[in-house]
Structure 1
Amino acid sequence: MPNPASHPPMRDALSPPNAPTRRTHRLRRRLVACCFRRLLRSTDEQLCEPDQLPVRGIHRVLVCRPNHRLGNTLLISPLLAEIETLYPGAEIDLVSAGCAARNLFTRRFQVRTVYSLPRKIARHLWATIDLLRQVRSDTYDLAIDACNDSQSGRLLLAIAKARFKLGYPGEQSGRKSAWRDFPCPVHLAHRGVFLLRTAYAGKTEQAWPPLNLRLSDDEKMQAREALKAVLGGPGRSPGKQPVIGMFANATGTKRYPTDWWKQFIDCLQTLRPDICIVDLVAEHGQSQLGNHFASYYTRDLRRLAAVIANMDGFISADCGVMHLAVASGTPTLGLFSTTCSGKYGPYGTNHTAVDTRPLGAADVATIAADWLALRC
């Protein structure tokens, strides 16, 4: 029997198995910056300044976020919601990478097209060129580079034809911009929203939009029936006892060892013997919790989110599925061992991030038990 811990991380939209090293990534960025320096500077000169985006007349919007990771894809959902709020009569096109955005966002009423760049552009050069031609063939009222310091996003912004272009000025820009006076928000989910609100000429006083997939009642109902079957019938169905989803996978150093999860769960069950744990299995199909719990497996992201939406709580390390749980609306506890919770953590009144670096598995379980006591 293969050891689950030896399997590669979930690859639905998180990270390719042979991700480049940081050094290779830096060299690649320098090469791109060198080749497209003039184009990038020219695009920076076209960026919309704060308070210059009109309140009316924005009907065709392009959002550029060419990233294949599930978490980064989900973190633009607040920007989509903000566009829908400020420009309720607008139509949105989205350029992403991989298949996550198409699976997650095509059902949104105002989203017209989701363009998906292939992960390996060099291997699919003609398909990539054809997609870029499609983007170039449309004329937009507003094009948004949704993340600062993204060369691919800035190149897409350069390619797009739009009356207004919105993005953070790059480091290579010599232009004196009013954006320099506005500090960039720490959390990635806030940055695109901050860009749009700051450029918008009208008033925006609402709270930060949450991550939200806008799951339909039908999706949730079908998932509720599936979860009942997973739990083994009406005696253990949702509502009879707290159902807690756990996802034990993550990429690289963010993933906790199997032994850590065993200690964590043993302690948590001692503190909360009433909870029912559901093991959400990663794409490789092998349980990382030892097949000791009811489990659910799917490669359909909306289906997975709908199942999580029927749970009372969700616990995982920092990963794309953690953000998927937040977007489902289920209270989520994110465990952070290497990354910055202020930048990537689940935000909102029902969600919490825990820095586990100074803590043992039992200490984290105690925190989780206290957190669950406030919610179920």
Structure 2
Amino acid sequence: MLLVTPLVQELERDFPNAKIDVFAKGVLVDIVFENYSNFGTSIKLSRKPAKDFLGYLKAWTKIVTSKYDLIINVDPGSKSGTIATKLAKSKYKVFGTAELKAITQFSDYRHMAKYPVYAYWSYFKIPTREISPLQLRLSTAEQEKGLKTYKSLQESNKPLICLFTYATGQKIYDSSWWNTFYEALSNRFSAEYEIIEILPVENISQFNHKLKHFYSKDVREIAAILNHAALFIGADSGMMHLAVSSGVPTLGLFKVTLPEKYTPYGGKSDYINTNDKSVDQMMAQIENTFSN
């Protein structure tokens, strides 16, 4: 959902009076687009249709019976997205496949957040412009509350470096890797920064909860804290994208997934290829992030 926010901002720019419905699996749509004035409604497709068949049927009924001015399939590899684009009523439909040849001119067209934007541009012959960043759009109240929590996590007035040690499948780094990384990070930056851990909803820590940490199930609360941090470092994950959308400089750790598809972008954000960098080289890249 966070990777869809750049496209929603593009549509907001071109059609300021339009309302945008978002058709997606999962329950986070309303949370992500809470502060987007152009957000219309969410059409949630159950991840487990056998257990929620009525809800599943209701979502597809809404797609088939509604009439839209424009439909954009943000992921051409999604079967449900492609089917929904075919079935929904609209004069203008961007499938994301017919536009592929035209958008390969962009070196970063494979990025999941940028691909649908380029497809949209290509369909309507829109001149190239800077793509919007991932953006959660925290309210002033959320930012102020986040700042209070952020300060409560500080043992001194040093800025915080936030680590996220969890991920799924092969993207995860084990405790040995993280302890080696933390030792180097602490030796290099502890004089100027404090280091804490942001825990996942599973409450799993590769430091065995020995590092000062923060835990919450509220993604907007987490983002509000990260918004005030000096740096976020974590494996390719939803939390990494949440950090980017909060506005904190983010370094994503990549070893199996494709950086060209998921890399953090905008501002000082970037990725670290942990397959071809030593720990010292990683520290040098972090140093460079702070100095730029």
Distance 2:99 2:244 in 1: 34
* Contact preservation (8 Å) 1:100, 1:301: no
How much does 1:195 deviate? 1.2
3-state SS of paired residue (2:114): helix
Note if 1:85 corresponds to 2:13.
yes
- Using a 3 Å threshold, how does the CA distance of structure 1 residues 371 and 182 change in structure 2: closer, same or farther? closer
- State how 1:234-273 maps to structure 2 within 5 Å: 236=156, 240-273=157-190
Note if 1:146 corresponds to 2:74.
yes
The alignment covers a number of residue pairs equal to 288
Partner of 2:145: 222
- State how 1:77-226 maps to structure 2 within 5 Å: 77-169=5-97, 180-183=101-104, 185-201=109-125, 203-226=126-149
Aligned counterpart for 2:267 among listed residues 349, 354, 359: 349
How much does 1:206 deviate? 2.3
- Using a 3 Å threshold, how does the CA distance of structure 1 residues 165 and 317 change in structure 2: closer, same or farther? same
**Structure number, greater radius of gyration:** 1
Aligned counterpart for 1:281 among listed residues 199, 210, 233: 199
* Contact preservation (8 Å) 2:166, 2:172: yes
- State how 1:37-116 maps to structure 2 within 5 Å: 73-116=1-44
Partner of 1:373: 290
Q: Give the AA of the match of 1:357.
A: N
How much does 1:82 deviate? 0.5
Partner of 2:251: 333
Distance 2:252 2:281 in 1: 11
Per-residue deviation, residues 184-217 of structure 1 (Å, max 9, x unmatched): 712111111111111124x434201111111111
Distance 1:367 1:163 in 2: 52
How much does 1:107 deviate? 2.6
* Contact preservation (8 Å) 1:341, 1:353: yes
Partner of 1:231: 154
Per-residue deviation, residues 322-355 of structure 1 (Å, max 9, x unmatched): 1111111100011111111111101123111111
Distance 1:109 1:204 in 2: 25
Unpaired runs of 5+ residues, structure 1, are 1-72, 170-176
- Using a 3 Å threshold, how does the CA distance of structure 1 residues 249 and 139 change in structure 2: closer, same or farther? same
- Using a 3 Å threshold, how does the CA distance of structure 1 residues 179 and 311 change in structure 2: closer, same or farther? closer
Partner of 2:229: 311
- Using a 3 Å threshold, how does the CA distance of structure 1 residues 99 and 306 change in structure 2: closer, same or farther? same
TM-score normalised per structure 1: 0.73
Distance 1:322 1:161 in 2: 36
RMSD after superposition: 1.8
Distance 1:373 1:191 in 2: 29
Distance 1:178 1:262 in 2: 45
- Using a 3 Å threshold, how does the CA distance of structure 1 residues 215 and 307 change in structure 2: closer, same or farther? same
- State how 1:287-306 maps to structure 2 within 5 Å: 287-306=205-224
How much does 1:95 deviate? 0.7
Identity of aligned residues (%): 29
